[in-house]
Chain A
Amino acid sequence: MKAKAHITQEEYYRGVRMRPYDLVKELAYALAGFGVLALVLAAVLSSPDVPPVTIAGWAQSDPVDFVTTATSELQGSTISAGYGNPYNTNGDGQSWGPIAPVKWFGTRIPVDSANSFVLQPLKTASFGNAELGTALSQWDSANGDQQTAWLKAYSDALGKATVTDGKVSVADGQYGPLPVMMNNLLGIAQAGGLDGLLTVSGRFYQTDYTQALLFMGDGGYLSGLAHDANLTGSQWGMMNETGSYPGQTWLWLYTAWYQVFPFTSNDGILGLNAGNADLGIVILMTALTVALALVPLIPVLRDIPRWVPIHRLIWKEYYSAKKRST
């Protein structure tokens, strides 16, 4: 479509009947009217503000899930431990054929799950705690195979764990120093110490919650609460809100793709499936947004307004005047 040479409004409106229209008054009415509406909604309905989950809350409410997650961190089997970039290189991340943007920029937010979430906090807490110090020495001096054997046995036993006075008990077995380590970590967490340690991370002033959030995301407690609130990906969660409030309805198309083939299927089609849904949908939505911007240039899409008679309602006065004059 060749760009038109610039024409003035005088030329564009030549022969067009004009009538008074007060734009500033219209804006003033809009500001006032909108303000009244927003103020009334705010006063009557308030807004959603469910308090955040803390590691302390998690450890108190579901100690078995907490200990299981911490054990899995040491095993390297959690989401964050095997994530890959930008946190570590333990996983490949999502790709679609040769397209793998997750690998382009490397490990820019380094997170060592086992050390950051479990071992470092325990080392800090072992100050003045001889029993914990001994357990940590035993752990550090064991070889990889021994650690793996302890972890497997303990992890299996956790499947039948019981909780007494907020502490986790498992059947007798060969777990090495793990029960001491885990119950100490649980105690630190329940007292709020792990929230502090993972957030502060050795710096007094900071605003980065990466460590604490990744750790909580590895467990089942937070995601269980999210599922109850219909916030998870497979529940159209992106457009939902806590309570009875409207959510981000404008994300309807983005979240809709997560509910349909091929992104719900393990096999999918053309290399797109549930395994690389995030990447596939990012690419798809980028393409659709660009297409929306380019509607004026796209045949059929730019012609639909002419075919659908909605404009005849918007300009009904104009069309009926034209009909009268012909």
Chain B
Amino acid sequence: MSELDAAEGSWTLRVRRWVDRVLPMDNLLPHRQPYYVGSWVYVFGVITIAALAWVVVSGVVLSFMGPQWWHASSLGRFFNSLHFWSVQLFFIFMVLHLWGQYFMAGWRDGRAATWMIGVVIFGTSILTAFTGYLSQQNFDSQFIAINAKDAMNAGGIGAFFNVLNFGQMYGLHVMLLPIGVTFLVVVHIVMVRARGVVKPIGREGGSPS
């Protein structure tokens, strides 16, 4: 048996061929798009990605310096503000992206999973922001904690997800949830690149649902 025949059973080869079929480099980083990609509505997605990058970078700086820094020093307060406005803008552009994709019915032609992952990202982002608001260590975070505990407890998860426990909320906020959001965003982008931009609603290929 030649070396090449023996390689046919290779898992590595199979994975590589699957990736080449599902997401060739031409589709991951295309230098052209269908001509119907010609509206400013299409940029809300990439602005949301940019927002996420700025949220994460400003957040890394805050976590590097520790919780008291953003209250006690003016540079810390500035990075706190950068993180705050980046988050506000992140949600603004993510919701604009959601509105755009809804009215374009972006789930058509086999893209339902892309839409669903998008909704999961939305929910996970809200949870991430929630743990962030709880981690501020100021008056706002005190009252949010005292109030939100009732919803968590009523829903049964308060026994495990204690919003009054700063250590738990902070750990979730700086570690677990950003990893979750980033992973889901990467999956979401890969799915969009793999299938390409959905066609316009109408006769030429855009299916009714």
Contacts and interface: CB of A to CB of B under 8 A. Distances in A.
The answer on direct contact between A and B (beta carbons under 8 Å) is yes
Contacts of A101: 154-157
A215 to B, nearest CB: 10
Interface in B169-209: 170, 195-196, 199-205, 208-209
B86 to A, nearest CB: 5
6 contacts: A19-B35, A50-B138, A209-B145, A293-B115, A295-B107, A308-B103
A106 to B, nearest CB: 7
Interface of B: 21-22, 27, 29-39, 41, 43, 46-47, 49-51, 53-54, 58, 70-71, 77-78, 80-86, 88-89, 91, 95, 100, 102-105, 107-110, 112, 115-116, 119-120, 122-123, 126, 129, 133, 136-147, 150-151, 153-160, 162, 164-168, 170, 195-196, 199-205, 208-209
Interface in A301-321: 302-303, 305-306, 308, 310-311, 313-319
Interface in A237-268: 237-238, 241-242, 245-246, 248-251
Contacts of B136: 49
A310 B104 CA distance: 8
A43 B167 CA distance: 29
A233 B47 CA distance: 33
B139 A1 contact: no
A109 B85 CA distance: 35
A27 B46 contact: yes
A228 B143 CA distance: 12
A16 B77 contact: no
Nearest to B86: A38
A17 B35 CA distance: 6
Contact of B146 (A49, A213, A282, A322): A213
Contacts of B119: 289, 292-293
A18 B33 contact: yes
Contacts, number: 282
Given A207-B165, A311-B201, A305 B54 contact: no
Interface in A1-17: 1, 3-4, 6-9, 12-13, 16-17
A24 interface: yes
Contacts of B208: 303, 306
A105 to B, nearest CB: 4
Interface stretch (A29-37, A121-129, A187-195): A29-37
Interface size class of A (residues with CB under 8 A): 35 or more
Given A16-B35, A322-B202, A1 B54 contact: no
A238 B126 CA distance: 12
B146 to A, nearest CB: 4
A149 interface: no
A238 B163 CA distance: 15
Contacts of A294: 116
A53 B143 CA distance: 10
A12 B95 contact: no
A281 B141 CA distance: 22
B201 A305 contact: yes
Given A31-B50, A213-B146, A314-B104, A242 B85 contact: no
A4 B199 CA distance: 15
A13 B133 CA distance: 45
A38 B31 contact: no
Contact of A52 (B36, B86, B108, B137): B137
A233 B154 CA distance: 15
Contacts of B160: 105, 108
